[in-house]
Amino acid sequence: MTELQLGMIGLAAAAVAGVVGYNKWQEYRHRKVAESVLKPQHDDVLLERSQRQPAPEPVLPPADETPAAPWETAVERQEPMFAEPPAVDEVVEAEIPPPVYADLPAPEPEPVPEPEPVAVVPPVVETPAAEPAPVAPPPVRATAVEEIHIDVPAGDVPSELLDPRLEFIVAMELVEAVPARQIVQSQRDTLQRLHKPVHWIGFNEKTREWERLRSDSELPVRRLRVGLQLVNRLGPVSGGDLATFTGAMQALADELTAVADMPPSRVLDQAAEIDRFCAAVDLEIGLNLVSRGTAFPGTKIRALAEAAGMTLGLDGLFTRHDDAGRAQFCLQNYESTQFSPDSLRSLSTHGLTFLLDVPRVDHGERVFQQMAELARRFAETLNGALVDDNRQPLGEAQLDHIRREFIGKPQATMQSFGLPAGSPQALRLFS
């Protein structure tokens, strides 16, 4: 054998010897730990008592009697032990004798059959009873608004939707939610006989906002407000319309199992006061553009209007709107023929009229300046002249007077009354 092989054999033998020695050392160390843990720290009172007092003689049953059941036979008590490896158990059993109750008879000297192995159960340590934990409430099942009514504060209806100064408002609180479509269509035949608009407002419990109800909406409504408009451009509401409306609302309340809460009866006086205010500020400013001899062709009118951002509507007017979609001013034929896509192909006219509805336009003075500038552009392109309703020429001084006296002052009056020009209330009132 070579020296390398001999060296490898020596190394292997040394490794085996090291492992064997390490295992012996570990076994010795574990045995010492077990002895220190299991060694009793105090005297066994029961054991000492049993040594001081001799055990009484056991009483044996007569031979002809039936031997006692196994569970009636006294057996020595076994203390619970830690589950350790077999080697440790042997040491413990050799060093620690099992304790014996002093009041039990000593076992017979004759050999006793070993009891069956019993699972070692750790001793039960009594601890003070803990306070019962608080019981959590049962989970609440989320339910749709249609199933369970949640009382959400509704607040007042925004004046943009209903204004007590402008509408006769009836309030209803329903027991069960009813679709908006059913509510609006309930008294339709009766309300169609009125000469004033009726506004339906309901509270949306999901968005927590008041909103205008549509005749095709399925929104469940529990809080309802219905307003009869008191004034429009046709004049104030009449006593007959008011009686018809209140009767329809009472019938609706009976149908919906609700109570109709109506305002005081001073409605007609209120309507007359609002109508007088409207008459003082209800103005429409017109700038006329007339030809100097040659009629204006319809195709050229349409091209100029569309280039200025105006659109032709079903009412026969070219209208310019702001970014919010609100009408600013419009252009109509000075003659009786209305504009339409078909008529403009062959139409020719000797005049046009630019119109501004003062109470319905926000920032009226600025909008009037824009309208006057566009009218001058049309006049230059079509070879026309700007005149007033008396066919008097309109210069810069006349236009400035119109802007201040017939637009600025009326709109300031509306602002002081709490009805700004172009606001939702003004749009309803001047309709």
pTM metric for this prediction: 0.62
CATH value of 282-429 in 3.30.1400.10, 3.30.470.20, 3.40.800.10, 3.40.718.10? 3.30.1400.10
Q: Degrees (nearest 5) of the Cα angle 293, 298, 304?
A: 95
**Residue 325: predicted pLDDT:** 92
DSSP bridge pairs for 66:
none
CATH number listed for the domain at residues 167-278:
3.30.70
pLDDT tens, position by position, for the chain (431 residues)? 688 878 888 888 888 888 888 888 777 877 776 666 555 555 554 455 445 555 455 555 554 444 454 444 444 555 555 454 444 444 444 444 454 444 444 445 555 555 454 444 444 444 445 455 555 545 434 344 444 445 556 678 999 999 999 999 999 999 999 999 999 999 999 999 999 999 999 999 999 999 999 999 999 999 999 999 999 999 999 999 999 999 999 999 999 999 899 987 789 999 999 999 999 999 999 999 999 989 999 999 999 999 999 999 999 999 999 998 999 999 999 999 999 999 999 999 999 999 999 999 999 999 999 999 999 999 999 999 999 988 899 999 999 999 999 999 999 999 999 999 999 999 999 99
List the chain domain ranges.
167-278, 282-429
Buried residues in 17-29 as b, exposed as e (16+ CB within 10 A): eeeeeeeeeeeee
**Residue 168: predicted pLDDT:** 96
**Residue 152: predicted pLDDT:** 55
Does the fold of domain 282-429 match that of domain 167-278? no
Q: Which amino acid is at 226?
A: V
Distance, in Å, from the CA atom of 149 to the CA atom of 152, rounded to the nearest integer, reads: 9
Cα distances (angstroms) measured from residue 279 to each of 77, 229, 250, 351, 414: 113, 16, 33, 29, 12
